[in-house]
Amino acid sequence: MRNRLAVATDRVLGTPQQGNPFGLVEALLGLLGGFLLATAAVSAYDSLEHLHGTSVTYGQTAVSLIALWVGFAGSAIAASRLRVPPAAAESDAAVRRGTGSVIADYGFRLRPWPDIPLGIVVGVLSQFLLVPLLELPLQPFVPHLSQRLGGPANQLLSPATSSGTGGLVLVAVLICVGSPIVEELFFRGLVLRALLWRLRPLGRRLGPILSIVVTGLFFGLVHFEALQFLGLAGFGMVLCLLAWRSGRLGASIVAHMAFNATTVIAYVITH
Cα separation, 209 vs 202, in Å, equals 10
Burial class (CB within 10 angstroms; exposed 0-12, middle 13-18, buried 19+) of 86 = exposed
What does the pLDDT profile of the chain (271 residues) look like in tens digits?
556 655 656 666 778 888 999 999 999 999 999 999 999 999 999 888 777 666 667 888 899 999 999 999 999 999 998 754 445 444 544 455 788 899 999 999 999 999 999 999 999 999 999 999 999 999 999 999 988 999 999 988 988 888 788 889 999 999 999 999 999 999 999 999 999 999 999 999 999 999 999 999 999 999 999 999 999 999 999 999 999 999 999 999 999 999 999 999 999 998 7
What pLDDT does 89 receive?
46
User: Which among 161, 178, 159, 156 is positioned nearest to 253, based on CA atoms?
Assistant: 178
Cα separation, 38 vs 28, in Å, equals 15
Cα separation, 106 vs 196, in Å, equals 12
| Contacts of residue 74, Cβ cutoff 8 Å, sequence gap at least 6 | 30, 33
Burial class (CB within 10 angstroms; exposed 0-12, middle 13-18, buried 19+) of 52 = exposed
Q: What percent of the chain has pLDDT over 70?
A: 89
Enumerate the H helices of 126-249 as residue ranges: 131-135, 145-149, 151-162, 165-173, 179-183, 192-198, 206-222, 229-246
Q: For residue 173, give Cα distances in angstroms to 72, 117, 186, 264, 269.
A: 18, 20, 19, 10, 17
- Measured in residues, the chain has a length of 271
Q: Given 3-state DSSP classes, what are the helix, strand and coil percentages for the chain, each rounded to the nearest 5?
A: 80, 0, 20
- Contact (CB, 8 A) for 62 and 42: no
What pLDDT does 228 receive?
96
What pLDDT does 166 receive?
87
pTM metric for this prediction: 0.92
- Contact (CB, 8 A) for 217 and 226: no
Determine phi and psi for 8, rounding to 5 degrees: -65, -40
Cα separation, 235 vs 242, in Å, equals 11
